[in-house]
Amino acid sequence: MFKVVIPARFASSRLPGKPLLDIGGKPMVIQVASQAAKSQAGEVVIATDHEPVMQVASQYGILSVMTRADHPSGTDRIAEVVQNMGWPDETIVVNVQGDEPLIDPVLINEVAQALAKDTQAVMATACHPFHDAVAFENPNIVKVVLNAKGQALYFSRAQIPYPRDAEYRTDLTAYRHIGIYAYRVSFLKQYASLPATTLEKVESLEQLRVLYHGYQIAVTITAHAPASGVDTAEDLAAVREIFTSSVHSL
């Protein structure tokens, strides 16, 4: 049995107050928590830095924890939650982003199971194959390459593996990284003390800190790629339309 923690930072440069924006008649963070509750998680917790988010969570009967406002990443926020909750070291915690109200519960289960199966790994994440050459070339889309054990060798915004010779360009299998993570509590307690690295800063990918310091990250290849998250006003309009369409189709 694993836990889900949903980091819900209130401030957002592109969408202020993002966790509380209405989607389908409920605040976005509540829609995320509802999806997470459909997974096999034994507990779902919202981690926020804003009292109104806690109040909304309480209204919907969802456990929430107040965290500091100065965390540099969602992982650091989850590490504070782990300390506050006193969960045992062997507990698996899945980080479900607070701006993904369409997250598939099956994907949450898959990431937790990938970490449970790989005793060498301290973290797990997910990927799925690229089917679009334009997306593979897009630096805003993160790629991952795997070793024979299904663990991450490297993450990058660049094209990896890069098909130098034309003969490999048509049959190359490349993987798009999906930003969902599972952690062991014992590792979360160590994470904050790991120094940030140049690789992490250059690529703007915090998971590279984990690889740089010699830890393993298990990667599940999934068919359950998440639908669009909400980063911009355009994303918000698109997700609202999906929810409206779903209600009308019932």
Query: pLDDT per residue over 147-189, tens digit each?
Result: 999 999 999 999 999 888 776 666 778 999 999 999 999 999 9
pLDDT greater than 60 at residue 113: yes
Residue, of 227 and 129, whose pLDDT is higher: 129
All domains of the chain in start order, with CATH: 2-240 (3.90.550.10)
CA-nearest of 217, 218, 199 to 208 is: 199
Place 250 in a pLDDT band, splitting at 50, 70 and 90: very low
Give pTM, 2 decimals: 0.91
CB contact at 8 A, 242 and 148: no
Q: Out of 30-44, 59-73, 153-167, give the one with best mean pLDDT.
A: 30-44
Amino acid at 195: P
